[in-house]
Structure 1
Amino acid sequence: MRLLVIEDDADLGPWLRETLEQALGGADLVATLDEARAALQVRPFDLVVMDRRMPDGDAIDLVSMLRRLTPRPSILVLTALDDPNDIARALDAGADDYLAKPFEPVELIARARAVLRRNQLDQKGITSVANLRFDMPARAAYIDDQPLVLPRRELALLEALMRRAGHVVLRESLENAVYGFDDEIQSNAIDAHLSRLRKRLREHGCLAEIKPLRGIGYLMTDGA
């Protein structure tokens, strides 16, 4: 799961990124619409949380671009504007939901999860490989129907691999799933995380395997 926060407030922006990251997955923060457009060209996002009033324009103008992306991210608009006409404009433009400031963290997370679930209704929400199952909307992994608890980055790696189970996932795609734009990535960091993930899977009796393809990426298979 990868999220993009578009917010120029120096206090609110980092708080939003941290709150959403703890609840849903890795998040990146940008402070202008130009930075948002650049970020969207670099990597795909599952959810975009945006403030309306940005230094270089109205974030609603970005929604049409988001709607054209494949896969299309869910869109949650945050604003101090609570006029019905402003709400209608955001939703008519293609936003999935609208949350007026101020708001409580629990409501923010609930709204974010709701729009993600709605956009995933027409997609395969649960993926299984051998005795390993991954519930995409809940971001939960199970081995033989028993919950598998993983550190945040290992969970992000497993999610990225399970989304494309049976297909090669490039190293760059795995790095994008795990790290933000501001993170320093050492050359062997992904390999180290994957090594720990593979060990945890084996220890819990997982029959699925993560196979490396040297210089290319990794493949999630049923071990056959």
Structure 2
Amino acid sequence: MANSAAVADSAEGAAFGDGFALAAAQARILVVEDDRDVAGLVGRELRALGLTVDVIGFAEDALLAARDTDYALMVVDLGLPDRDGLDLVREMRKRAIATPILMMTARSKVEDKVSGLASGADDYLVKPFAVPELRARVTALLRRPSPLKDSRLTVANIVVDRDALEAVVDGASVPLTRKQFQLLELLARRKNHMTPKRMIEEALYGYNDEVSGNAIEAHVYKLRQTLRAAGAEAVVETRRGIGYRLVERHRAAAHG
């Protein structure tokens, strides 16, 4: 039996590569799932890959664990007993928790998948799932370099330091409110790409928060004014009916 296990482990390592085996030996995964059977299955399969796995059944506990632990990946179910999984993912991204997230749910409609990815998840797994698909998606996410892991984002002469929660222009700190910083961080992470208004609302506000009709426009206006006063060489562009993007000033002029 020991020889059979060794052969199985060797085959697993060959399938995913020595690089993955080395990373797996140091990787800790958080599984957020309240169904014990599903959580047990996912935990067993991930441990079989050589990963260390923590299983938590409540969103609030998961939020605390994600804040205090350097996880390589989180597998999050949408149907949690104390909070919707989409709201949990949004809250994690708002708190600058950059860990890649595999969302797991029985909701299989295209619009559900789009909502999951828009909330900040990196991939989407529909229940019931085949074990090989679970393993493949997990290993793909662990291999993927994520821009969210960068603590500093740079656009022109603006540096957004996600660890220090500070924005700097030409070495000088820029005074921003919490929501202005969250907005700038989101736009900087998606620089040169349009960010829909709905995505900004989800990043800046909680699931049950009431958002006035012009709240996002007001935040964008104030951020734009603050960056201009600081001498930023990037601007926030508005495309009516589409969204906003942060671009270097010369690119904005070229497309103006």
TM-score normalised by structure 1 residue count:
0.52
Alpha carbons 1:139, 1:159 under 8 Å: kept: no
Structure 2: where are the runs of 5+ without partners? Answer: 1-57, 68-78, 104-120, 124-144, 251-256
Q: What does residue 6 of structure 1 align with?
A: 59
Deviation of 1:35 (Å): 4.2
Looking at structure 2, the residues matched to 189 and 154 of structure 1 have their Cα atoms a distance apart, in angstroms, of 12
Larger-Rg structure: 2
Alpha carbons 2:153, 2:160 under 8 Å: kept: yes
Q: 1:134 to 1:122 in 2, by over 3 A?
A: closer
- Number of residues paired by the alignment? 138
Q: What does residue 176 of structure 2 align with?
A: 150
Amino acid at match of 2:174: L
Looking at structure 2, the residues matched to 160 and 121 of structure 1 have their Cα atoms a distance apart, in angstroms, of 12
Looking at structure 2, the residues matched to 212 and 199 of structure 1 have their Cα atoms a distance apart, in angstroms, of 14
> Residue 93 of structure 2 is aligned with which of 39, 46, 51?
46
* 3-state SS of 2:83 partner: helix
Q: What does residue 95 of structure 1 align with?
A: none
Q: 1:71 to 1:145 in 2, by over 3 A?
A: farther
Alpha carbons 2:94, 2:182 under 8 Å: kept: no
1:34 to 2:87 alignment: no
Q: 1:171 to 1:122 in 2, by over 3 A?
A: closer
* 3-state SS of 2:207 partner: coil
Q: 1:133 to 1:183 in 2, by over 3 A?
A: same
Amino acid at match of 2:211: I
* 3-state SS of 2:199 partner: helix
Q: What does residue 102 of structure 2 align with?
A: 68
- The correspondence of residues 136-147 of structure 1 with structure 2, limited to 5 A, is 136-147=162-173
Looking at structure 1, the residues matched to 201 and 207 of structure 2 have their Cα atoms a distance apart, in angstroms, of 10
Alpha carbons 1:143, 1:206 under 8 Å: kept: yes
Q: Deviations over 1:80-130 (max 9, x none)?
A: xxxxxxxxxxxxxxxxxxxxxxxxxxxxxxxxxxxxxxx989833221111
Structure 1: where are the runs of 5+ without partners? Answer: 21-31, 49-65, 73-118
Alpha carbons 1:169, 1:218 under 8 Å: kept: yes
The structure richer in strand per residue is: 1
Amino acid at match of 1:6: A
Q: What does residue 223 of structure 1 align with?
A: 249
Alpha carbons 1:208, 1:222 under 8 Å: kept: yes
Looking at structure 1, the residues matched to 81 and 164 of structure 2 have their Cα atoms a distance apart, in angstroms, of 32
TM-score normalised by structure 2 residue count:
0.46
Deviation of 1:42 (Å): 7.7
Q: Deviations over 1:32-68 (max 9, x none)?
A: 93343443588473389xxxxxxxxxxxxxxxxx952
Q: Deviations over 1:143-164 (max 9, x none)?
A: 0011112111111111111111
The structure richer in helix per residue is: 2
Deviation of 1:178 (Å): 0.9
